[in-house]
Amino acid sequence: GGGVGGGGWGPGAEELVLFAWDIDCLSSYIAKKLNGYINHALQGGMGDSHGDGVGDGEGQPEALALAHSRVSDAIAQSLNDAKVPLDGMVQTAWEVIASQVSSQCMAQLGAVKGVTATYRMTNKPAPTQPSTFVVNILKPLRDFVHAWGDRVPGSIMNQEWEGSVVVLVIERYLSTIMELLGTVKQMEEALAKRKIKSKAKGNKGGLSDADKILLQLLLDVRSFGDTLETHGVDHTTNEEYVKLLAEVAPAERFLAGALEDDAL
- The string of pLDDT tens digits covering residues 59-103 is 567 776 666 677 667 766 766 677 778 888 888 889 999 999 999
Per the DSSP assignment, residues forming a β-bridge with 199 are: 208
Q: What is the pLDDT of residue 201?
A: 46
CA–CA–CA angle 45, 46, 50 (5° rounding): 115
- Residues of the chain below pLDDT 70: 1-12, 31-60, 64-68, 71-72, 75-76, 78-80, 158-159, 195-205, 257-264
Distance in angstroms between the alpha carbons of the first and the last residue of the chain: 55
The answer to whether the beta carbons of residues 173 and 85 sit under 8 Å apart is no
List alpha helices for the chain, DSSP H.
13-29, 35-51, 60-107, 114-119, 139-148, 154-157, 161-193, 209-226, 239-248, 252-263
Q: What is the pLDDT of residue 187?
A: 85
Domain ranges of the chain: 4-92, 94-263
Contacts of 211 (CB under 8 A, 6+ apart): 126, 251, 254
Rounded distance, CA 117 to CA 29, Å?
A: 57
Sign, CA torsion 71/77/78/79: positive
Residue type, 195: K
Contacts of 162 (CB under 8 A, 6+ apart): 141, 145, 231, 232, 233
Rounded distance, CA 205 to CA 259, Å?
A: 10
8-state DSSP, 129? S
DSSP 10-78: -TTHHHHHHHHHHHHHHHHHIIIIIHHHHHHHHHHHHHHHHHTTTT-STTHHHHHHHHHHHHHHHHHHH
> In 38-55, which positions are buried (b, 16+ CB within 10 angstroms) versus exposed (e)?
beeebeeebeeeeeeeee
3-state secondary structure of 199: strand
